Chains A and B, each alone.
Chain A
Amino acid sequence: MIAAPPVCHHCGLPIERAVRRGDWAFCCSACDLAHQIIQEAGGEAYYQFRERAPLARPQTTDPLPWDDPAFQAAFVRTTPDGHEVDLILDGLHCPACIWVIEKVLGRVKGVQEVKVHYTASRLHLSYRDLPLSHLTRTLEQLGYSPSPYNPANLEAPARRQDQAMLARLVTAGFGTLALMFLTEPIYFSQFAPEEIHLRRLFEWSQALVATPIAWYSIWPFLKGAWTGLKVRTFTMDFTVTLGAFVTWLYSTIGLFTNREHLYFDSLVMFLFLILLGRTLEARAKRQAFSTSEQLLKLGGLLARRIQAGETQLISPLSLAPGDLVELLPGDKVPADGIIETGDTRLNESMLTGEARPVHRRPGDPVTAGTHNLDGTVRFRVTRSGGATTLAQIVRLVEESDSHKAPIQRLADQVSHVFVWIILAIASLTFLFTLSQGLDTAVTRAVAVLIVTCPCALGLAIPAALVLGTSAAIQRGVLIKKGEALETLPRIARVYLDKTGTLTTGQMTVQAWHPAPGVSVCTLKETAKALESGSEHPLAVAIRQAADTGTDLPTSGFQAFPGLGVTAEVAGSKGWAGNLNFVKQHVPVPDASALEALHENRLGHTVVAIAHAGHFLGLVAIGDRIRPDARDVVKNLREQGIELAMVTGDTPAAAWAIARELGITTVHAGLLPQDKQKLVAESDLPVAFVGDGLNDAPALAAATVGLAVASGNDLSQDAAGIVLLQPRLQGLADALAVARATRRIIRQNLGWALIYNMIAIPMAVMGWVTPLMAAVIMPLSSLVVIANALKLKWRAA
Chain B
Amino acid sequence: MEILFVMVPVMLLIMGLLVGFFLWAVRSGQMEDLESQKYRILWEQDSPKP
Chain A interface (Cβ < 8 Å from any Cβ of B) = 64, 74, 147, 150, 152-153, 156, 159, 163, 166-167, 170-171, 174, 178, 181-182, 195, 198, 201-202, 205, 208-209, 301-302, 312-315, 317-318
Q: Is the CB of B15 within 8 A of A178?
A: yes
- A314 vs B43: C-alpha distance in the bound complex, in angstroms? 5
The chain B residue sitting closest to A195, CB to CB, is B1
The 9 closest A-B pairs by CB, nearest first: A315-B47, A301-B39, A167-B26, A152-B50, A312-B44, A313-B42, A163-B26, A174-B19, A313-B44
Per the 8 Å Cβ criterion, residues 1-18 of B in contact with A are 1, 4-5, 8-9, 11-12, 15, 18
27 chain-A/chain-B pairs, Cβ below 8 angstroms = A147-B50, A150-B48, A152-B47, A152-B50, A156-B50, A159-B33, A163-B31, A174-B22, A195-B1, A201-B4, A201-B8, A205-B8, A205-B12, A208-B12, A209-B12, A209-B15, A301-B35, A301-B39, A302-B42, A312-B44, A313-B44, A314-B43, A314-B47, A315-B39, A315-B48, A317-B47, A318-B47
- A147 vs B42: C-alpha distance in the bound complex, in angstroms? 26
User: Contacts A198-B4, A302-B39: A318 and B19 contacting too (C-beta < 8 A)?
Assistant: no
- A178 vs B31: C-alpha distance in the bound complex, in angstroms? 24
Contact of B8 among A202, A301, A312 (CB under 8 A): A202
- A615 vs B4: C-alpha distance in the bound complex, in angstroms? 112
Residues of A within 8 Å of B49, CB to CB, are 64
**Closest-CB distance, A569 to chain B (whole angstroms):** 59
**Closest-CB distance, A78 to chain B (whole angstroms):** 19
**Closest-CB distance, B34 to chain A (whole angstroms):** 11
- A167 vs B29: C-alpha distance in the bound complex, in angstroms? 11
Residues of A within 8 Å of B45, CB to CB, are 312, 314, 318
Residues of B within 8 Å of A153, CB to CB, are 50
Residues of B within 8 Å of A312, CB to CB, are 44-45
The chain B residue sitting closest to A151, CB to CB, is B50
Q: Is the CB of B43 within 8 A of A198?
A: no
- A182 vs B9: C-alpha distance in the bound complex, in angstroms? 11
Residues of A within 8 Å of B26, CB to CB, are 163, 166-167
Secondary structure at the A interface, as helix, strand, loop or mixed, is: helix
Residues of A within 8 Å of B44, CB to CB, are 312-314
How many residues of B are counted as interface, with CB atoms below 8 angstroms from the partner's CB atoms? 30
Q: Is the CB of B50 within 8 A of A181?
A: no
- A355 vs B28: C-alpha distance in the bound complex, in angstroms? 44
- A722 vs B30: C-alpha distance in the bound complex, in angstroms? 40
- A195 vs B4: C-alpha distance in the bound complex, in angstroms? 12
Q: Is the CB of A201 within 8 A of B50?
A: no
Extra pairs beyond A152-B47, A166-B31, A317-B47 (19, CB < 8 Å): A150-B48, A152-B50, A153-B50, A156-B50, A170-B22, A171-B23, A181-B11, A182-B8, A198-B4, A208-B12, A301-B35, A301-B38, A301-B39, A302-B39, A302-B42, A313-B43, A314-B47, A315-B47, A317-B48
Q: Is the CB of B42 within 8 A of A174?
A: no
**Closest-CB distance, B47 to chain A (whole angstroms):** 4
- A793 vs B23: C-alpha distance in the bound complex, in angstroms? 36
- A170 vs B31: C-alpha distance in the bound complex, in angstroms? 13
Contact of A171 among B1, B22, B32, B50 (CB under 8 A): B22
- A315 vs B15: C-alpha distance in the bound complex, in angstroms? 41
The chain A residue sitting closest to B41, CB to CB, is A313
The chain B residue sitting closest to A171, CB to CB, is B19
- A655 vs B13: C-alpha distance in the bound complex, in angstroms? 85
- A173 vs B22: C-alpha distance in the bound complex, in angstroms? 12
**Closest-CB distance, B33 to chain A (whole angstroms):** 8
The chain B residue sitting closest to A156, CB to CB, is B50
- A182 vs B19: C-alpha distance in the bound complex, in angstroms? 17
- A202 vs B12: C-alpha distance in the bound complex, in angstroms? 11
**Closest-CB distance, B42 to chain A (whole angstroms):** 5
Residues of B within 8 Å of A182, CB to CB, are 8
**Closest-CB distance, A141 to chain B (whole angstroms):** 21
Q: Is the CB of B32 within 8 A of A315?
A: no
Residues of B within 8 Å of A181, CB to CB, are 11
Residues of B within 8 Å of A174, CB to CB, are 15, 18-19, 22
Residues of B within 8 Å of A147, CB to CB, are 50
Residues of B within 8 Å of A315, CB to CB, are 36, 39, 43, 47-48
- A159 vs B12: C-alpha distance in the bound complex, in angstroms? 31
- A181 vs B49: C-alpha distance in the bound complex, in angstroms? 46
- A49 vs B49: C-alpha distance in the bound complex, in angstroms? 35
